[in-house]
Every structure is written in structure tokens, then in C-alpha cells.
Structure 1
Amino acid sequence: MSAGQEHGAPRSVLPYPPIHKDAKFVVLSDWDGTITDKDSNDWLTDKLGFGFEKRRALNLECLAGNISFRDSFRQMLESVHHPFEECKEELKKNIKLDPGFVAFYTWCKEQNIPFVIVSSGMAPNIRGVLSTLLPGPDAENIEIIANEVKFTDPEETGKTWEIVYRHPDSGFGHDKSQAILPYRDLEHKPTLFFCGDGVSDLSAARHADVLFAKVMANGHSDLKTFCEREKIPHVPFGDFNKVLERVKEVVEGGKSVEQVLKEEGN
């Protein structure tokens, strides 16, 4: 079982928001490198931690199943010796949204389709970046299921800090499948869309009806690589304009999930 995969529902130390029981469609999405133009935790590690080469080597070890995502991610964050607020401010200055995201999120709101961010990052960083990039109250209102942060300095100001994993016993740290699987138990079986890009999304990859795998401009995508290797049907996308097009076809155009996946070569 690769990249931290394990059996059984892991213990969660953080609360979950209520699921959207009456929704016909639900969109769940990774944050870093999917909704954003770059991965904020990779950016912190590369710029303020032990650097790109060691970080990328850990990514590849994780993808190969030689180390869990939880343990590799902790190593990356522990290499960042800067106060938490300083890290958050740097992210607010350097992380931007995918060019199609606001239009897609706005359309979901207009259609009353729940949109949930499911992230292996830390919720305060996500809210911080969103506060500079999303209009109006959306930055505070958008639903986020993520990890948290604990300030470990005596004054608890964040001079030193550590990640609080949602599922500390899971090799994923945050097993994203646990945000999806409750919808599978609903009687009316909503159509589930999931967007992701990397190794933190592997736990969710098999559980959506339509899985969108983000591909960078250079053609790179750890999630797409994993899906091809494991023969998991997926829709590659460069930005959320493609996601909007395909989701609209199912929601408004009457296309079946099977049609969309077949047209994408699955």
C-alpha cells in the first residue's frame, strides 16, 4: 500500500463540518498546487527550509511508497525555522489562485453546489491566503477540512510551532478519503467531484465519481502519474476553466460521468 495507505477509518483529533446531506452534487478540492498556483508548503520548504532538492527527493520517496506522507511532510515543516505569522505573511505575498478558480467557485455558489477545500496543509495559512485573494466574505465562509497548527513557544505566539495532524495515526496525516466516504453512505448518492494534484491526494483518488488531476505547465503531476500507474480513471486539467467546463456538462448538460471519463481517454 503506497504513500501511507491503510485499512479502517483513522481516529480524527479535529472536528468535521456537517456533510451536505441534501446536495445532488458536491465538489471537494485539494488546496496547495490545485486551487493555488504553487504549493505553499513546498514554497516554505524550498525558500525558508531545507530547499528544493531534499524536498523533491522526499516527494519521490513518498510516491514510491518508501515513506509516509505524514512523516515526509513533518520533516519538511520542521526544517522551517521561522515564526508562524512570518510564514503566513510570506505566503500571502507569494501564493496566487489558479486563474479559473474564482469563476468556478462563483458558479458553484450560484448553482448551490457545496464546495469544500480538503487540504493536508494548515487551515490558518489557507484562510490567510484566501483573505487576500477571494472577494467579500468568501474567504471566511468557504468550507475547509485541513490540519491545524500548535504554537510551541512558552508564550504561545507562534515563534515556534508544529503541525497538528487531523489523523495522527494515519500515514497520510490527513486521510482525505474520510471527507468523501460519508457521502457514499447517503441514500440518494450525490455525484462527487474531487480535484487534486499530488501525493497528499492519493487517499482520496479512488473515491470520487470524477477525479480531476491538476497538471502543471511543464506537464508534471504526481497525482496523474499515480492514476496512470494504478489505472484510476481521471480528467487531467491545466486550470479550473477545464473543471468548470466538465462539471457543467454533467450538472447542466446531462452528460453522464461515464461519458466524461470516456471522452478523456479512460
Structure 2
Amino acid sequence: MSASAAVEGGRARPGRPRHIPVLKSSSVAPRDQILQASASLFTSKGFAATSTREIAEAVGIRQASLYYHFAGKDEILAALLGATVRPSQDKVAQIEADVSPECPEAALFLLALIDVHTLANAPHNVGMLALLPDVVSANDGEVYAEFQEERRKLASSYATFGTRLAEQHNAPTSGEALGAMLIQQVEGIITLRADGIAVDELRAKQIAAGCLCLCGCGRDRIIMAQQVAEDFLSQHLHMDAPGIL
């Protein structure tokens, strides 16, 4: 991942986060409230500096209740980091099954667009957490290693889709290197969010189009790929989050 800041907005903010309503008064599931509170605390204070007691207080529950949903802070972190890559990777098989092999541009555009959606809607820009030193060293690296493996699978999917295009358009880069370039192109969203730049529908499409450019695609093929991807999204994936797609 490429980013210029360590937390959303560029620096950790002092003070306690806004108190989150107690579980009984909220329609949000308890587990999700814990994840939301943890995302806020981890990105503002840092992972190591945040205790499970603080997370429980932010949600409005007892510390013992938190352990009903998560074994500890490391498990919460794993869930947050996994949510930045797993939703995109989970769509790869469906893309391969439903997008025509004759339109590899659309497959890559679609994967990039879905991945943009995943990162743009992650709470508190938690994609930034993977860059923090205290996260990298968390739990002797086990949580981070699990996330890195999931991210590696997603990069491999980018490599597969991208190489099909690169070979077709005689682009100079293919394989693993191209996969790394493509996933980093999309992960630029993390930096945009940290800099306070909104990731709207136009920027989402520009980022996806940039992936196709890296594979040697011209303007006409990019326009075609965008149309196919949009039709696929509306018919099959129903991704209608506010402000994007």
C-alpha cells in the first residue's frame, strides 16, 4: 500500500473519540458497534495505545461483554484489516464466471471498481492501519501476516486479469509485477481519504480506468469496459452505497 500519512487526516488526533450510543439504543449489531468503535480508536490513538476497556467504554458496554464477540484486540484488528480486502477477493469467482472472456477489460475494470468501493466505504479509513508500525508487529506479526496473505490473493487476481490485457495490448509489464502495480493504483484511495479528498463516482471510475491504462488499453476499450462493468454491477452485485458506484 502506498500512503503519505499514518492515520486519517494525516496525524493522530488527541483526546477521546465521540462516545458511541449504548447497544440497547442502537439498531447497529453489537459486533459491528465494537468494530466501528475500534476503527475510530485504532486510527486516532494507534493500535498499541488502545485498550479493550476503552473500546468497551466507547460502545457503552462492559469489558466482559466485548469478549463475548471477540477474543481480544488482535481479533478485532484482524476483522478490520480483512474487511479491506476480502469483499473484493470474494467477487473474483463471480466476475470470472459472468464476464465474457472476450471482454477482459471489463473484468479488470469491474474488479478495480469493486475494490474502490471496498476501500472507500471502510470505516475511518482502516486501510491505513496496515501501515502502522504497531500493527505490523501486533501479536508477533500473526494478524498482519493473515492480512498480507489475503492481500496477496487479491493482488494475484489483479495479476491474472491484468496479464490477459497486457498480453493482448503488448504492454511492457505482466504477471506479479503488474498485479502489484494494479492493486497499488487502487489503494491510492487510502491516501486520498487521509488527505480529506472524497472518493466519488467519477474518481472511482478514473482509478479503474487507470488500471486499464497500465495494461495498455486505449480510450475506446476503456469506455466499453466501463459500460459493461456498470451493467454488471446494477444487475448482479447491487452495490448502491451513497456517493460511489
Fold-level similarity (TM above 0.5): no
Q: Which has the larger radius of gyration?
A: 2
TM-score scaled by structure 2? 0.31
Which structure has greater helix proportion? Answer: 2
